[in-house]
């Protein structure tokens, strides 16, 4: 992009480090925790993942925006909301080319009131984050609409230093759907019209005629209640693919109301913030574990809540795991999976009680990636096995959940 015609912007870290670039999103400023994501694809899914609330996301892959954006790949449900506090990239591509594209990345950011900065050295920034850990930061565009002033720089540093941090922050109740909803749509599948774009009906509604949606003709064998702590859309789609009728309820829904729905299984979703701050959710999960035998599956924040409810502790990680290339080993089979990850907290395996068994471990840093209760039908996984749009190595965990519900029904 031509920086001479762009509004200037800066990224200020709390330690006073300044990165100068150009604005490719909305004007203004945003503060949050600066993290880096190593995925090469999926910037729209990353932006709309509720687990990125209050975070400024640095993409280490240099060229971002070449496939544009579309109306189907939002991970924040029907709201199509951008949850990431801001975006930090090296180069915003000038050319957008993809048969599904409906809007350029720059237009998408501006229309979703998202502050973003480009043309900075993301390699240098990533080294800082890798060595020092996730940093508090502020993205600020020029106050006069053109150039960054010394006043802007000092104000940005002050704002970065004033960010409270994610420890102790309960974001699940803010990122969940306030009223809950029913979810019946399955995953997308390539249709025959992709191979014949000129065929009659190849440009019908929905996904431009090139994709067809599963779920409409799938038998709903299992009644699943999903606690929404900031759930990703594709997780719900993966449940539907396996015969689940999914009722999504807000994070603070009393457990008595959930049990009254007579679920075959309970799902605990991903979400942002500090799991230890979600006392209401911990209490609900503890009730599920201690008072019921309902098959329960947790992902990401849901995984951490199961750990806390079982008596384990969680810890804030130095940099967290954010990317689509993380190796995780299944400790029983020895199989290594490449997984999609997005979390800044981890369950401390050293604090596991006797009835909690570790099932998966990160081969990057040895942190816990999965667990199961030995005396209850409860298990969880730290990564995102739905992996939209990453590797699908771990999606068999959804099959395990369905098998547990089938066994319980029999």
Catalytic residues, by residue number, are 300, 384, 386
Strands 313-330 and 336-348: antiparallel
Q: Is 356 helix (H, G, I), strand (E, B) or coil?
A: strand
User: For residue 73, with 0-12 CB atoms within 10 Å meaning exposed, 13-18 middle and 19 or more buried, which class applies?
Assistant: buried
Question: What is the DSSP track for 162-229?
Answer: T---STT-B-HHHHS-SS-EEE----EEE-GGGG-TTSTTTT-SSSTTSEEE-STTS---EEEEEEES
Rg value, the chain, Cα? 21
State both tokens at 226.
Answer: 């999903």
Q: Which residues, listed in sequence order, are joined to residue 63 by a DSSP beta bridge?
A: 91
3-state SS, 331-378, equals CCCCCEEEEEEEEEEEEEHHHCCCCEEEEEEECCCCCEEEEEECCCCE
Rounded Cα gap, residues 372 and 386, in angstroms: 19
The answer to whether 265 and 221 have CB atoms below 8 angstroms apart is: no
The answer to whether 36 and 60 have CB atoms below 8 angstroms apart is: yes
CA distances from 20 to 109, 129, 317 (A): 19, 17, 28
What's the DSSP call for residue 258?
Answer: H
Q: How far is CA 264 from the centre of its chain?
A: 26
The answer to whether 106 and 1 have CB atoms below 8 angstroms apart is: no
State both tokens at 41.
Answer: 């694809």
What's the DSSP call for residue 229?
Answer: S
The answer to whether 114 and 86 have CB atoms below 8 angstroms apart is: yes
Q: Which residues, listed in sequence order, are joined to residue 381 by a DSSP beta bridge?
A: 299, 370
Stated length of the chain: 410
Rounded Cα gap, residues 331 and 295, in angstroms: 22
Closest CA to 285 of 262, 313, 253, 315: 253
Rounded Cα gap, residues 38 and 323, in angstroms: 5
């Amino acid at each position: 992009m031509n920086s001479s015609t762009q509004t200037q912007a800066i990224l200020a870290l709390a330690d006073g480090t300044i990165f100068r670039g150009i604005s490719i999103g909305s004007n203004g400023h945003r503060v949050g925790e600066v993290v880096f994501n190593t995925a090469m694809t999926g910037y729209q899914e990353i932006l709309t993942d509720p687990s990125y609330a209050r975070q400024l996301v640095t993409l280490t892959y240099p060229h971002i925006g070449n496939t544009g954006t579309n109306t189907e790949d939002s991970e924040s449900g029907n709201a199509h909301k951008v949850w990431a506090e801001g975006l930090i990239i090296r180069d915003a591509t000038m050319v957008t080319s993809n048969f599904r594209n409906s809007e350029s990345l720059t237009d998408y950011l501006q229309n979703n009131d998202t502050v973003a900065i480009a043309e900075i050295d993301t390699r240098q920034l990533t080294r800082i984050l890798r060595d020092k850990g996730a940093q508090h930061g502020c993205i600020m565009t020029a106050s006069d609409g053109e150039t960054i002033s010394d006043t802007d720089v000092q104000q940005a540093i002050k704002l970065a230093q004033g960010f409270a941090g994610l420890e102790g922050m309960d974001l699940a109740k803010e990122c969940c759907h306030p009223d809950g909803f029913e979810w019946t749509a399955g995953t997308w599948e390539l249709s025959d019209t992709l191979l014949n774009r000129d065929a009659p009906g190849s440009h019908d509604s929905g996904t431009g005629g090139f994709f067809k949606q599963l779920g409409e003709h799938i038998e709903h064998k299992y009644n699943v209640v999903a606690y929404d702590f900031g759930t990703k859309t594709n997780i719900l789609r993966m449940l539907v693919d396996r015969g689940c009728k999914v009722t999504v309820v807000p994070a603070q829904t009393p457990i008595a109301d959930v049990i009254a729905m007579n679920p075959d299984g309970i799902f605990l979703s991903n979400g942002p913030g500090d799991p230890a701050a979600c006392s209401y959710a911990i209490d609900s999960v503890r009730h599920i574990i201690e008072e019921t035998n309902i098959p329960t599956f947790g992902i990401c924040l849901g995984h951490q809540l199961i750990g806390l409810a079982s008596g384990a502790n969680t810890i804030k990680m130095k940099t967290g795991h954010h990317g689509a290339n993380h190796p995780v080993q299944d400790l029983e089979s020895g199989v290594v999976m490449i997984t999609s990850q997005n979390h800044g907290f981890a369950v401390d395996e050293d604090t596991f009680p006797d009835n909690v068994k570790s099932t998966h471990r990160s081969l990057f840093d040895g942190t816990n990636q999965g667990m199961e209760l030995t005396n209850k039908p409860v298990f969880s996984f730290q990564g995102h096995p739905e992996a939209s749009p990453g590797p699908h190595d771990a999606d068999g965990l959804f099959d395990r959940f369905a098998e547990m519900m089938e066994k319980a029904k029999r």
